[in-house]
Structure 1
Amino acid sequence: MLSNACKYAIRAILYLAIHSDKTHKIGVKKIADEIEIPKAFLAQLLRQLTANKLISSAMGPGGGFFLDPKNKEKSVWDIISCIDGTYKLDQCFLGLSECNDENPCPAHYIVSPFKKKLLSDFRDKTISKLAEEIERKGTLLSLKGFEPS
């Protein structure tokens, strides 16, 4: 449903939400290494996210990327809109060009409630709330160093 670029962007922003602030900026190489994303690709995504004010950056010595309080109040939907646009989530599950409540595809009424819930959650969940949940529940942004039990 989401492109790899969008998944990478969400992971990068969540990493920054947990590990950065105005006084602790993080470079592309460290982010890429920590969450196992190709560095060159991540650099492009971070530029796009910065241009759209979803993350902040500072240049020069001690520079890098970080989230300020305004960035942390953005939603997952803001990231998806920036990277993938909204059309992917508006598309028919079976790929029909016209699919809605008036002209449903065979899977419309199965998929529609899940899609509405997912979109609602993406719009309502701020980066700050999601980062808090990650820290509280111990969920993973990367499998780096993960040893299955």
Structure 2
Amino acid sequence: MFSKTCEYALRALIFIAQQSGNGSRTGIKDISKGISSPEYFIAKILQDLSKKGFVQSAKGPNGGFFMDEQNLDVTIADIVREIDGDKLFSGCGLGLEQCSETHPCPIHDQFKSIRNNIREMLESSRIRIFADNLDLKLTHLKV
């Protein structure tokens, strides 16, 4: 459903949010290990997300990535839109260029309902919720 970049970004942000709960800053090696991702790939993703304000970073011996209160309230939909664009929320289920209410594809009506449910779920899901669920051991990011 998401690109690999988006999957890693979401996992990394949730991991960083959990670590930020106790005031910690987390380095690339720990993030990569914590979410089972390639170090170089996650470094590039986080560099981009930091520039765009989704995560904070600090350099130096006590540096690393962290999230402030504002970052913790970002929705999953915001991150998906930033990385993968709006296609998940508005695209055709069959990938057709022309698909609309007046010119529908064969699965248009059924897919529109599913797409709207996904959009609502992602727009109501905040990074903070997922970090809290990790703390409570209700979910996991790595097997």
- TM-score normalised by L of structure 1: 0.88
Runs of 4+ in 1 over 4 A off after TM superposition: none
User: What's the C-alpha RMSD, in Å, of the aligned pairs?
Assistant: 1.6
Mind listing any 5+ residue stretches in structure 1 that lack a counterpart?
144-149
Deviates more, 1:100-109 or 1:134-143: 134-143
Please say if 1:86 is aligned against 2:105.
no
Contact 1:24 1:66 (8 Å CA) reproduced:
yes
Q: Give a deviation string over 1:10-44, Cα, whole Å, max 9, x none.
A: 00000111112583100001100111100000000
Q: Secondary structure at the match of 1:132?
A: helix
Letter in 2 for 1:123: E
Q: Give the Cα separation in 2 of the matches to 1:22 and 1:129.
A: 15
Deviates more, 1:116-125 or 1:134-143: 134-143
Q: Give a deviation string over 1:49-106, Cα, whole Å, max 9, x none.
A: 1011111111111000011111001110111122111134422111211112221111
Letter in 2 for 1:131: A
Q: CA deviation at 1:131?
A: 2.2
Q: Give the Cα separation in 1 of the matches to 2:128 and 2:110.
A: 32
Q: CA deviation at 1:137?
A: 5.8
- TM-score normalised by L of structure 2: 0.92
Contact 1:75 1:126 (8 Å CA) reproduced:
yes
Mind listing any 5+ residue stretches in structure 2 that lack a counterpart?
none
The number of equivalent residue pairs is 143
Deviates more, 1:96-105 or 1:33-42: 96-105
Q: Give the Cα separation in 2 of the matches to 1:21 and 1:136.
A: 12
Q: Give the Cα separation in 2 of the matches to 1:121 and 1:11.
A: 17
Aligned to 2:127: 127
Q: Give the Cα separation in 2 of the matches to 1:115 and 1:81.
A: 14
